[in-house]
Amino acid sequence: MKAAVVIFPGSNCDRDVIHALEAVSCIPTQAVWHKETSLPQDTGLVVLPGGFSYGDYLRCGAMAARSPIVPAVREHASRGGLVLGICNGFQVLTETGLLPGALLANISLEFICSNCLLKVERTDTPFTSAFKKGQIVQFPIAHHEGLFFLPENELEELEANGQVVFRYASADGSAGQQYSPNGALNGIAGIVNKGGNVLGLMPHPERASERILGSSDGLGIWNSIKEWLEGRSK
Amino acid sequence: MKFRAHVLVSLKEGVLDTQGKAVRVSLKNMGYGSVEEVRIGKSIMISLEATSRPKAEKQVEAMCDDLLVNPLIETRSVTLEAI
Amino acid sequence: MKFRAHVLVSLKEGVLDTQGKAVRVSLKNMGYGSVEEVRIGKSIMISLEATSRPKAEKQVEAMCDDLLVNPLIETRSVTLEAI
Amino acid sequence: MDHRKAGLLDSEYEIICRELGREPNEAELRIFGVMWSEHCSYKSSKPLLGLFPKEGPAVLKGVGENAGVVDAGDGWGLAFKVESHNHPSAVEPYQGAATGVGGIIRDILAMGARPMASLDGLFFGNPDSRKTIFLSNGIVKGVGGYGNCVGVPTVGGKTFYDARYEDNPLLNAFCMGLVNAESIVSSQTAEPGNLVVLLGSKTGRDGIGGAAFASVELGEDTKASRPQVQIGDPFVEKLLIEACLEALENSLVTSMQDMGAAGITSSASEIAAKSGVGMILDLDKVPLREADMSAWEIALSESQERMLLIVLPEKLELVLSLGEKWDLDCAVIGKTVEGDRFILEKGGSVAVDLPASLIGGGCPEIRWPAITPANLANRQTFELENEILPSDLAESLLKLIGSPSLREKTWITRQYDSMVQVNTIQGPGAPLSLVRIKENGNIAAITMEALPWACQLDPFRGGYETMARSLRPLWVAGARHLGMTNCLNFPSPENPEQFWEFSEAVKGLAECCVDLGCPVVSGNVSLYNESAGLSILPTPLVCSVGLISSGESPLLPGNWKEGDILYLVGMDNAAIPASHFQVTCMGMLKGLPVPPSPEMERDFKERAILTAGKNVADSAIPILGGGLGIALCKEAISSGLGAEIQLGTPTLPAVSLFGEGGARALYAVPSVKAFEFLRIWKGFPVRQVGNVRGESLRLPRSTPLPIETLLKAWRGV
Ligand SMILES: Nc1ncnc2c1ncn2[C@@H]1O[C@H](COP(=O)(O)OP(=O)(O)O)[C@@H](O)[C@H]1O
Ligand SMILES: [Mg+2]
């Protein structure tokens, strides 16, 4: 099975993700224009890449979430297919309702580009099986709206369901709100839906997939996905 | 007929208004000590064509639901004038 | 006395409204063909304390000049109510 | 309309009338006013720019195009250029900076290259003034806001503070892109019978007369007459990049030109003149944002995010459908014809009819008089023996590393996406930036350098040293230089002393380029950076680009290992004049910077490149601003290790530690490789200045400085 990377007007990490999937991880990958209404045959994974779809105007991800391709992505997810939203892609996922919550402006009201440490909270998802539970990994972030927000009772429910997959952390393994570079509630950096097949995260694994770029921890994500895809192909 | 709709989008009570807070702090630092609260929202002006006022209203409400407002974090108020 | 000021900040006539443009295109693509123009501005609500209405007005105008509005590209309209 | 109101000199107006055989009409006059302004015509600087060497084995496309292109190996080229957006940034910092970034990106795109890395040069006044805080916050947000959204990483830059930039901050934007050497786009390839297509945003009244505006001093009266602020739309720019690259990939365009200063007029007349064709444009076909625009307003509008494409008629259909795909306005606005006429029609009649070659090439050069500044001798008087130098080295070092220009710039760089496109090996915060080229495995190395203080004391030496200092970090990292681009930021050339400084600085740059074999492939000139009697410092800014071949790894700083031997290579004659130490710790700017030494530079270059290639050092840093002291500090901080320093020289310790200038570098060498290292540097001044040890920097006869202390001073906490 292959990966499909959706390109929205203003996506700017689409080529980066394709590089990480195809050139680095040898996962067959196809780009899909947002005006399409169906996904390529044999799509196992849909990636909504980072960037500034529609310039981040109005609300980040809002206009991309109303693209013609979105119903097909929704349908793919409902059949258990994998959907991965990175940064702006995560914002698109919350705007479509495929994931709960909203991403608000960073508490500093500034764009932040920097390396971050994350704690892997779950390894029983198709995206994180290659990590060790509690492992601390380093991915960069680069966003202006990354403060994960949910009203209190829904946040509790999210936590109770164990939907938090990545949390901002320190090198010694503690994780939580105080490590959020952007003010994200409970230090939330990435979450899955209840089914575990839709993952959204603010940090960029594709920017941490080669030694030469400073970290190859992102390979954990691609390797997990690859294993899942290969398992499905058999 | 032509209409102009004015959609005022504000953050819901309980959603942190980081920008409003920052502006309040700035104003205080600039000597405006009398300021108690600042809330920042969006104002969206839409000029549109419709055959009647109710139709225009309905369209604007639909646009709000479909795109302009995120009900998890925002509320809106719409006013409409014929032009 | 307490007042609530509502400052509506919009882009000057002729100044490119990048957001409004993108939203208009999106609305069109979503099937709202009747939309002719979208302009997006900011709405700022300020609660403040002042001894009289004119004083409150003067303060809000000063805040606009000092911080809230960039006169090169923006215009404003202020309304004030006692609360 | 009076020609002087349009900004033309009497003599220029006479030439226009003579060449046309008639008086120009108002629209034509306004076009000349803008196109013959300093900003567009280079009339004051052309004779000087002739001094630059422009040829070289690596040059694929040189000066004369939108950007220069150098050979990046295996059929790939690197297109790069730096440009100023000083005046707009002084007026509206966010939008001024944003549109500056957008403009340089389109220059790179116009070469057919995919923009892959940006750098920004920022020069601000007193760091604590309200004005500087407002301007610097706005400019930084503008650079980031645009670059982040458009998806071009900002991988480096330069930030410099001096009170003389208080009212005239500078924003210089550099961009580099990658282009297939076979599909480099030229503005010389249009032929009669082609269609002229406008792609991108609609045209409004933005920035009309902006180029003319940039060609005068900022004063109260000019503030009133300033043009409508241009608003940058990085979202549309991103669409434009993708649409243009897609058009090129499918061979849909014959030629292409970005629209910068003077909008349609300059881009269209430039293509016409360079290709030797005429052009007839129908301004009624231009998609407008505002109704009722007059011919000259449309012709000169500087609305952003537009490109001019020259298209064969049979390709038009496909070009239009590309516009549709990317939601961009796309319209045929005219055609190319035989001859040299540049004709603009509106409402069915001819509004403008001029020879294309006269618009861009007819403006006579101005040779402003140059006079050696009366106070130059005074500026250059400095006797080390007569000065009492601050004696506490540790205290001076802490003061220096916390000074505005040297302290940590994370508040700026973390607002820039420096990693998008996944090529950034070395981002902001190092002496050079490194981006890998996925297409061939090579690594491009980029520096940005400017030394206003040295140029103030001796513009020739300052210019020379600026150029040399832009190359040394490349060599130390193991890169060979391919070419440079520059932005010449100066005050008014009409002041003879200022014109002398301008001339001398350019001569210095040029001589260094000749001496070291570095071609100048592109550049930009920004004059009239002064207001109300306050002129900026002479600020030539240089960006150099080099290459490290695939398979070789760059030698980077920040990698000290416990026990490493620290070697200083280079002469001991570094100068206190123009150093950060002199300005920050002595509160003066006087004397002479180091004289050029081409032999030393060449010897240094070969040895440095060899050192990186042979892998004999753990870490290396060229000695730049703040001298050896700051180099030690930065290495200690980023390695998290201390060192014991013995200067052991006849020179004063402060001079050894804080003097600046000349080819120098600090290497950290494992003792087992010391022999090999020294063999490489045989015949060049080299001496051991200490060892990496412990967690404090220990300068001779000074209190030890724990890393924590250095870090705090650097961060200003
Ligand atoms: N300081 C300089 N050094 C070298 N070349 C320069 C310099 N200034 C301008 N040029 C060259 O002159 C030409 C016109 O420059 P410019 O007007 O800045 O281009 P554009 O019209 O693309 O903005 C370009 O080829 C540019 O590279
Ligand atoms: Mg150009």
Q: How many domains does chain D have?
A: 3
Using CB atoms, pick whichever of A9, A19, A23 lies closest to residue D326.
A9
| Chain A residues near residue B73 by CB distance under 8 angstroms | 102, 104, 149
Which residues on adjacent β-strands are paired with residue D425?
Answer: none
> Do D692 and D593 sit in the same domain of this protein?
yes
Do residues D559 and D477 lie in contact, with contact meaning Cβ atoms separated by under 8 Å?
no
Determine the pLDDT at residue D391.
85
CB within 8 Å of chain A, chain D residues 418-437: 418-422, 424-425, 436
**Which 3-state string (H, E, C) describes D51-75?**
CCCCCCCCEEECECECCEEEEEECC
Q: What SS3 class is residue D508?
A: helix
CA distance C23 to C39: 9
> Do D564 and D678 sit in the same domain of this protein?
yes
Do residues D487 and D523 lie in contact, with contact meaning Cβ atoms separated by under 8 Å?
yes
Asked whether residue D176 is domain-assigned, the answer is no
> Do D296 and D247 sit in the same domain of this protein?
yes
Do residues D643 and D560 lie in contact, with contact meaning Cβ atoms separated by under 8 Å?
yes
Does D434 or D62 have the greater pLDDT score? Answer: D434
For the ranges C6-15, D168-177, D203-212, D389-398, the one whose mean pLDDT is highest: D168-177
C-beta atoms surrounding D702 within 10 Å: 17
CA distance B8 to A231: 50
Work out the minimum CA distance from A135 to partner chain B, whole angstroms. 31
| Chain D residues near residue A10 by CB distance under 8 angstroms | 149, 235, 238-239
> Do D61 and D152 sit in the same domain of this protein?
yes
List A13, A87, A116, A144, catalytic entry: A87
Who contacts B46 (Cβ-Cβ below 8 Å, separation ≥6)?
B4, B5, B6, B7, B60, B63, C35, C37, C38
Asked whether residue D385 is domain-assigned, the answer is no
Ligand nearest to the CA of D40: 1
Q: A105–B19: do the CB atoms touch at under 8 Å?
A: yes
Is the beta carbon of D525 within 6 A of some atom in ligand 1? yes
In this model, does residue D468 exceed pLDDT 80?
A: yes
C-beta atoms surrounding D132 within 10 Å: 19
- Please say which residue of D545, D566, D597 terminates a domain: D545
- pTM value surpassing 0.90: yes
In this model, does residue D651 exceed pLDDT 80?
A: no
C-beta atoms surrounding D673 within 10 Å: 17
Condensed to tens digits (0 to 9), the pLDDT of residues D522-535 reads 999 999 999 988 99
In this model, does residue D225 exceed pLDDT 70?
A: no
Which residues on adjacent β-strands are paired with residue A175?
Answer: A169
List A95, A121, A145, A206, catalytic entry: A206
Share of chain C above pLDDT 70, in %: 100
C-beta atoms surrounding A55 within 10 Å: 24
- Domains defined along chain B, listed by start: 2-82 (3.30.1280.10)
- Please say which residue of D328, D345, D363 terminates a domain: D363
Comparing C-alpha atoms, which of A40, A62, A45 is closest to residue A53? Answer: A62
In this model, does residue D222 exceed pLDDT 80?
A: no
The first and second tokens of residue D157, run together, are 């830059």
Q: pLDDT band for A232, please (50, 70, 90 cuts).
A: confident
Residue A138's domain spans which residues? 2-233
> Do D606 and D631 sit in the same domain of this protein?
yes
Determine the pLDDT at residue D506.
98
Asked whether residue D413 is domain-assigned, the answer is yes
Work out the minimum CA distance from A75 to partner chain B, whole angstroms. 19
Q: What SS3 class is residue D519?
A: coil
Query: Does D441 contact chain A (CB < 8 Å)?
Result: no
> Do D278 and D314 sit in the same domain of this protein?
yes
What is the Cα D537 distance to its own chain's centre? Answer: 16
| Chain D residues near residue C71 by CB distance under 8 angstroms | none
- Mean residue pLDDT of chain A comes to 97
Using CB atoms, pick whichever of D204, D233, D235 lies closest to residue C14.
D204
Element (DSSP H or E) covering residue D635? helix D627-639
CA distance D164 to D141: 22
> Do D305 and D199 sit in the same domain of this protein?
yes
- Please say which residue of D337, D363, D389 terminates a domain: D363
Locate the chain A residue with the closest alpha carbon to D443. A212
Asked whether residue D401 is domain-assigned, the answer is no
**Atom 20 of ligand 1, residue of closest alpha carbon:** D66
CA distance D662 to D649: 17
Q: A55–C30: do the CB atoms touch at under 8 Å?
A: no
Using CB atoms, pick whichever of C16, C22, C25 lies closest to residue D231.
C16
The CATH number for D693's domain is 3.90.650.10
Determine the pLDDT at residue D212.
65
What type of residue is D690? G
* Environment class of C77 (CB within 10 Å of its CB; exposed 0-12, middle 13-18, buried 19+): exposed
> Do D16 and D53 sit in the same domain of this protein?
no
CA D12–ligand 1 middle distance (angstroms) = 22
| Residue D348 backbone dihedrals phi, psi, to 5 degrees | 80, -5
Residue D702's domain spans which residues? 555-717
Task: Break chain D down into helix, strand, coil percent, rounded to 5.
Answer: 40, 25, 40
Query: Does C61 contact chain B (CB < 8 Å)?
Result: no
CA distance B61 to B52: 14
Asked whether residue D93 is domain-assigned, the answer is yes
- Provide mean pLDDT across the span D622-635: 98
Q: How many domains does chain A have?
A: 1
- DSSP per residue over D110-142, as a string? TTTPEEEEEEEEEEES-TTSHHHHHHHHHHHHH
Q: D419–A209: do the CB atoms touch at under 8 Å?
A: no
Using CB atoms, pick whichever of D144, D236, D419 lies closest to residue A111.
D144
Comparing C-alpha atoms, which of B70, C18, D13 is closest to residue A59? Answer: B70
Using CB atoms, pick whichever of B23, B37, B46 lies closest to residue C38.
B46
Asked whether residue D399 is domain-assigned, the answer is no
> Do D610 and D633 sit in the same domain of this protein?
yes
Query: Which of the residues A94, A109, A155, A185 would you substitute to probe the B interface, choosing the one with the greatest number of B C-beta atoms within 10 Å?
Result: A109
Probe residue for ligand 1, chosen from D51, D490, D522, D541 as the CB with the greatest number of ligand atoms within 8 Å: D522
Query: Does A71 contact chain C (CB < 8 Å)?
Result: no
Look up A87 and say whether it is catalytic.
yes
Q: Do you know the residue count of chain C? A: 83
Question: What ipTM was assigned to the predicted interfaces of this complex?
Answer: 0.93
Q: pLDDT band for D214, please (50, 70, 90 cuts).
A: low
Is the beta carbon of D16 within 6 A of some atom in ligand 1? no
| Chain A residues near residue D422 by CB distance under 8 angstroms | 16, 19-20, 206-207, 209-210, 213
| Residue D343 backbone dihedrals phi, psi, to 5 degrees | -115, 130
Q: What SS3 class is residue D101?
A: helix
Q: How far is CA D27 from CA B72, D41, D210, D250, D316, in A?
A: 54, 18, 16, 38, 30
Q: Do you know the residue count of chain A? A: 234
Determine the pLDDT at residue D1.
77
Look up D87 and say whether it is catalytic.
no
Query: Which of the residues D237, D242, D413, D420 would you substitute to probe the A interface, choosing the one with the greatest number of A C-beta atoms within 10 Å?
Result: D420
CA distance D63 to B48: 50
Asked whether residue D550 is domain-assigned, the answer is no
Residue A19 DSSP class: I
Do residues C57 and C80 lie in contact, with contact meaning Cβ atoms separated by under 8 Å?
yes
Q: How far is CA B74 from CA A149, B11, B65, B69, D154, in A?
A: 13, 4, 11, 6, 34
In this model, does residue A234 exceed pLDDT 90?
A: no
Determine the pLDDT at residue D234.
97
Q: B16–A109: do the CB atoms touch at under 8 Å?
A: no
CA distance D50 to D52: 5
- Provide mean pLDDT across the span A135-151: 98
Is the beta carbon of D524 within 6 A of some atom in ligand 1? yes
Q: What atom in ligand 1 is closest to the CA of residue D266?
A: 21
Determine the pLDDT at residue D680.
98
> Do D28 and D103 sit in the same domain of this protein?
no
**Atom 12 of ligand 1, residue of closest alpha carbon:** D64
Condensed to tens digits (0 to 9), the pLDDT of residues A58-98 reads 999 999 999 999 999 999 999 999 999 999 999 999 999 99
Do residues D534 and D164 lie in contact, with contact meaning Cβ atoms separated by under 8 Å?
yes
CA D301–ligand 2 middle distance (angstroms) = 15
- Provide mean pLDDT across the span D90-114: 97
Query: Which of the residues C23, C25, C26 would you substitute to probe the A interface, choosing the one with the greatest number of A C-beta atoms within 10 Å?
Result: C26
Q: D236–C72: do the CB atoms touch at under 8 Å?
A: no
> Do D58 and D115 sit in the same domain of this protein?
yes
Q: What SS3 class is residue C79?
A: strand
Query: Does D148 contact chain A (CB < 8 Å)?
Result: yes
Q: pLDDT band for D208, please (50, 70, 90 cuts).
A: confident
In this model, does residue D547 exceed pLDDT 90?
A: yes
Asked whether D and B share 3 or more beta-carbon pairs under 8 angstroms, the answer is no
Is the beta carbon of D332 within 6 A of some atom in ligand 1? no
The first and second tokens of residue A61, run together, are 């991800």
Q: Do you know the residue count of chain D? A: 717
Condensed to tens digits (0 to 9), the pLDDT of residues D328-382 reads 999 999 999 999 999 999 999 999 999 999 998 889 999 999 999 999 999 999 9
* Environment class of D349 (CB within 10 Å of its CB; exposed 0-12, middle 13-18, buried 19+): exposed
Write down which chains contact chain D via at least 3 CB pairs under 8 A: A, C
How many residue pairs bridge chain B and chain C with CB atoms within 8 Å of each other?
Answer: 96
The first and second tokens of residue B78, run together, are 């719409």
Q: How far is CA A176 from CA A141, A158, A181, A195, D304, in A?
A: 16, 15, 11, 24, 43
Q: B18–A183: do the CB atoms touch at under 8 Å?
A: yes
Does A44 or D229 have the greater pLDDT score? Answer: A44
Is the beta carbon of D520 within 6 A of some atom in ligand 1? yes
Query: Does C26 contact chain A (CB < 8 Å)?
Result: yes
In this model, does residue D129 exceed pLDDT 70?
A: yes
Q: pLDDT band for B16, please (50, 70, 90 cuts).
A: confident
Query: Which of the residues D201, D236, D419 would you substitute to probe the A interface, choosing the one with the greatest number of A C-beta atoms within 10 Å?
Result: D419
**Which 3-state string (H, E, C) describes D195-260?**
EEEEEECCECCCCCCHHHHCCCCCCHHHHHCCCCCCCCCHHHHHHHHHHHHHHHHCCCCCEEEECC
